[in-house]
Structure 1
Amino acid sequence: MSTSTHTPAAPGGSRIAAVAGYRPSRLVGNEELGARLGVSGPWIERRVGVRSRHYAAPEESVVDMAAAAAGKVLAAAGLAAHDIDLLVLATCSLASPMPNGAAGVAARLGHPVMAAFDVNAACAGFCYALGVADGLVRAGTSGRVLVVGAEKMTDWVDPDDVDTATVFADGAGAAVVVASDRAEIHPVVWGSDGDRADLVAIPDRYSSVTMQGQAVYRWVTTSLAPVAADACRRAGIPPADLKGFVTHQANLRMIEHLATALGATGAAVGRDIVESGNTSAASVPLALSRLIGTGDVRTGDPVLLLGFGAGLSYAAQVVRSP
C-alpha cells in the first residue's frame, strides 16, 4: 500500500485551483413536473424560481456523480488522482451510511489509497468541506485536497409532495484546493441552530425529506446576511467590492434577498437554481462553475460563498475565483 508523498510544509494559505460541475442528462421541466403534481409550470417558477432541474438515472448513484465531477475538475486543474492527498465528499443523500462515499469516489478515480472521508452538513456541506480543506492545507497536513459536493436528492423526495418535489434535484460539483503563498480562501464563518434542526429533516430511514418552508425562509432572510457580512469582514473585502455572490441554491427569492441585504451591489449573483434546482451540497460549486463558465466571474475575482440548510447549518467564506 502506498500513500501520498507531496504534503508540503505549512504554506501561507490555500487557493482553489479549479472548479467543475456535473449535471445528470435527464432534464425535467416545470410543465412535465407540474402535470403530475396538479400545478402549472409558471406557478412553480413564481414560487421557487426553478424552470428545470436534472434527475439522475435510476442506476446512477451519488458516488457516480461525484466521480464524474471529480474527474472533470482534476482535468481542469491539470492534475491526476495520484496528485491528491485527501478527498472530502459533502453529501447527505447516500443510499447507505456505510461505507463512506468518499472512499468509493477515490477508487473510481484510480487512487483508492488516498485519505477520504464524508462531511454531512446537508446544503452547507460544500462550504464546510472547503473550510476543512483550507485548514488542512494551511496546516501542512495535506498538500492538495479534492472537495466534492454530490447529491441524489430524488432518492429522498416524495414525488407527490409539491413543497419538495418542485425544487430538489440531483448533481455534483467539485473543487481542487492547493497550497498558496497567500490566502485566497479566507476564514470560514460557520455555525448551526440545532434547536431548529427539524425544520428540514428526514425523520427516519424509511421516510422522505420534510421541510417547513416558511420557517426556513424567515431564518435565512433574517439571520444569514450578518454571517455573510462577517465573512467579508474577515477577508478584508467590503461587500460592495465582491465580484461574485454564490449562495446555496434553495429559492431564488432567498438568494436575491440576501444579495440585497448584504449590499453586494457589484457582484454577479449565482442563479443556477433556475436551470438546476436545489442540489443541496452540490449547489454552491455548480453555481460557481456556471458563473466562471459564463465569464461573469474571472480569475482572481473575490467571490462570497454561503451554504445553509438542514441542521440548521451555515458556512460562509470569501474566495478568489480560479
Structure 2
Amino acid sequence: MISPLRTPSMRHARLSAVGAYRPRRVVSNAEICTRIDSTEEWIESRSGIRSRRFAAPDETLPAMAEAAAGAALTEAGVAPERIGAVVLASMSNLVQTPPLAATVAHRVGAVAAGAFDLSGACAGFCHALAVAGDMVRAGSAEHVLVVAVERMTDIVDPADRSIAFLFADGAGAVMVGPSDRPGLGPVVRGAHGDMAAALRMTGSWADFRADPSGLPPVMRMDGRRIFRWAVDEVAPAAQRALDLAGVRPENLAAFVPHQANTRIIDLMVQRLELPDSVAVARDLVTAGNTSAASIPLALHGLRDAGAARSGEPALLVGFGAGLTYAAQVVLLP
C-alpha cells in the first residue's frame, strides 16, 4: 500500500508591507519634446503624464529592486532568513540568466529563499502576487517577497514618437505572509496570444551584435489596439475579480490599475461604475508607465498619501504585452 503524501494545510494570505524606489531624475514633458515631434499639451492630453523618472547609470535593476525590497522588508518586520521565496517581475532585464530574483534575494539577506523571475510584462506584478499568495496559502513558503522592477528606458527608442513619452523606470515590492483571514481574493487571468503583435520587441540581440549599425531590440506598440482591448476585455475581467471576492464597487477603498494611460483608467472607472468614494490611483501623472512596477508604485503612493487605509479592500488590475491580464481584490497592507 502506498502511503499518502503529507501536504501543509491550507491557510490564508495577505499583503503585510509595500516598498518603493523612484529614480532621482525627474524628466518633464518639455524635455521629452526635445527628442520627438510633439508638445507638452499633446503628451498630457493623450496620456495624462506630466513628468516621469529616468534611472541614472548607478540605478540599475538590482539596485532599484534591492531598495524597494528592503523598504518592504523593514515595514513588514520580517527577518530576511524567514523569506521562503523571492518572485521578481520585469520585462526590461537584458540578462536572461541568472535570474535577477536570485541577486535580489542575496542582496537583502534572504539566503534561505528560493528565487525566480516571472515574465508577464505590464501584468507581471499581478501574476507574481497571485503566485506568492498561492505559495503562502499552500504552506510552501511562510513569507514571499514580490518585487517588480523596470528600466524601460533601456528598451524604448527615445525617438519613437508613439511611446517615448510613456515609459519610465522604478521599482516596487510587497511582502506576502500568512493571515488569520482572507487577504487576497481569487485571481482572474487571461491571455490573448492572437494579439501578441500589438506590443512586442523587435529584432534580437544576436542580430544587433552582428550589425551594430542599427537599433538594438526595442519595444513597438499599437496603442489604439491595446486601448480597445483594455477597455473591452480587461474591464470585464476586473468586474469578475470583484464578483469572485464578493466585493461590491461601493465597498472598495481603492482601485489600482496598471498605470498605462489616464484615459484607459477613466474608462475602466466608468465601466466598473466606481463611486467617487473609491480612491483611484493615477501615479503615472508624475511617474509615467513603469510597466510591471506601476501597480506596487501606485499602491505605495496611495497608501502614503492617506487615500486608503490598512485592511481596506483594493482592486488591482494588471494588463499588457502578451496580451495578458490578471486582476484580484486585496486588503491593503
| Contact kept? 1:185, 1:320, Cα under 8 Å | yes
* Aligned partner of residue 85 in structure 1, secondary structure: strand
* Aligned partner of residue 299 in structure 1, secondary structure: coil
**Structure 2: runs of 5 or more not aligned:** 1-6, 205-215
The total of aligned residue pairs comes to 315
Specify the alignment match of 1:101 in structure 2: 100
Deviation (angstroms), 1:193: 0.3
| Contact kept? 2:33, 2:40, Cα under 8 Å | yes
| Contact kept? 1:50, 1:277, Cα under 8 Å | yes
Specify the alignment match of 2:32 in structure 1: 33
Instruction: Write the mapping of 1:247-258 to structure 2, written as runs, cut at 5 A.
Output: 247-258=257-268
Alignment partner of 2:280 out of 253, 263, 269 = 269
| Contact kept? 1:10, 1:137, Cα under 8 Å | no
Deviation (angstroms), 1:241: 1.4
Specify the alignment match of 2:4 in structure 1: none
Specify the alignment match of 1:4 in structure 2: none
Residues in 2 aligned to 1:273 and 1:262: alpha-carbon distance in whole angstroms: 20
Instruction: Write the mapping of 1:186-197 to structure 2, written as runs, cut at 5 A.
Output: 186-197=185-196
Residues in 2 aligned to 1:201 and 1:64: alpha-carbon distance in whole angstroms: 26
Specify the alignment match of 2:151 in structure 1: 152
Instruction: Write the mapping of 1:23-102 to structure 2, written as runs, cut at 5 A.
Output: 23-102=22-101
| Contact kept? 2:73, 2:79, Cα under 8 Å | yes
Instruction: Write the mapping of 1:109-128 to structure 2, written as runs, cut at 5 A.
Output: 109-128=108-127
2:41 paired with 1:16: no
State the AA in 2 paired with 1:216: I
**Structure 1: runs of 5 or more not aligned:** 1-7
Residues in 2 aligned to 1:187 and 1:277: alpha-carbon distance in whole angstroms: 29
Residues in 1 aligned to 2:283 and 2:52: alpha-carbon distance in whole angstroms: 10
Residues in 1 aligned to 2:93 and 2:133: alpha-carbon distance in whole angstroms: 25
Residues in 1 aligned to 2:116 and 2:243: alpha-carbon distance in whole angstroms: 31
Q: Which consecutive aligned stretches of 4+ in structure 1 deviate over 6 angstroms post-superposition?
A: none
Deviation string 1:36-75 (CA, Å, 9 cap, x unpaired) is: 2132212111111101111111243212111110001111
Specify the alignment match of 2:256 in structure 1: 246
Specify the alignment match of 2:137 in structure 1: 138
Deviation string 1:131-150 (CA, Å, 9 cap, x unpaired) is: 00011110011100000111
* Aligned partner of residue 261 in structure 1, secondary structure: helix
Specify the alignment match of 2:323 in structure 1: 312
2:208 paired with 1:208: no
2:310 paired with 1:299: yes
Residues in 1 aligned to 2:8 and 2:178: alpha-carbon distance in whole angstroms: 10
Alignment partner of 1:280 out of 270, 291, 313 = 291
State the AA in 1 paired with 2:26: L
| Contact kept? 2:82, 2:110, Cα under 8 Å | no
> Which TM-score applies when normalising by structure 2?
0.92
State the AA in 2 paired with 1:153: M
Instruction: Write the mapping of 1:209-248 to structure 2, written as runs, cut at 5 A.
Output: 209-248=219-258
| Contact kept? 1:15, 1:184, Cα under 8 Å | yes
| Contact kept? 2:81, 2:112, Cα under 8 Å | no
Deviation (angstroms), 1:9: 4.4
* Aligned partner of residue 88 in structure 2, secondary structure: strand
* Aligned partner of residue 164 in structure 1, secondary structure: coil
Residues in 1 aligned to 2:77 and 2:255: alpha-carbon distance in whole angstroms: 26
Specify the alignment match of 1:5 in structure 2: none
Residues in 2 aligned to 1:269 and 1:316: alpha-carbon distance in whole angstroms: 15
State the AA in 1 paired with 2:85: L
State the AA in 1 paired with 2:133: D
> Which TM-score applies when normalising by structure 1?
0.95
State the AA in 1 paired with 2:289: N
State the AA in 2 paired with 1:249: Q
Residues in 1 aligned to 2:112 and 2:203: alpha-carbon distance in whole angstroms: 33
| Contact kept? 2:121, 2:291, Cα under 8 Å | yes
Deviation (angstroms), 1:11: 4.6
Residues in 1 aligned to 2:72 and 2:58: alpha-carbon distance in whole angstroms: 23
Specify the alignment match of 1:162 in structure 2: 161
Deviation string 1:233-279 (CA, Å, 9 cap, x unpaired) is: 11000122111000000001001110111112131000001010000
Residues in 1 aligned to 2:80 and 2:52: alpha-carbon distance in whole angstroms: 30
Residues in 2 aligned to 1:191 and 1:43: alpha-carbon distance in whole angstroms: 32
Residues in 2 aligned to 1:197 and 1:174: alpha-carbon distance in whole angstroms: 27
* Aligned partner of residue 36 in structure 1, secondary structure: coil
Deviation string 1:152-209 (CA, Å, 9 cap, x unpaired) is: 1100000111111101000000000001111110110011101101101112333210
* Aligned partner of residue 311 in structure 2, secondary structure: coil
- RMSD (Å), alpha carbons: 1.2
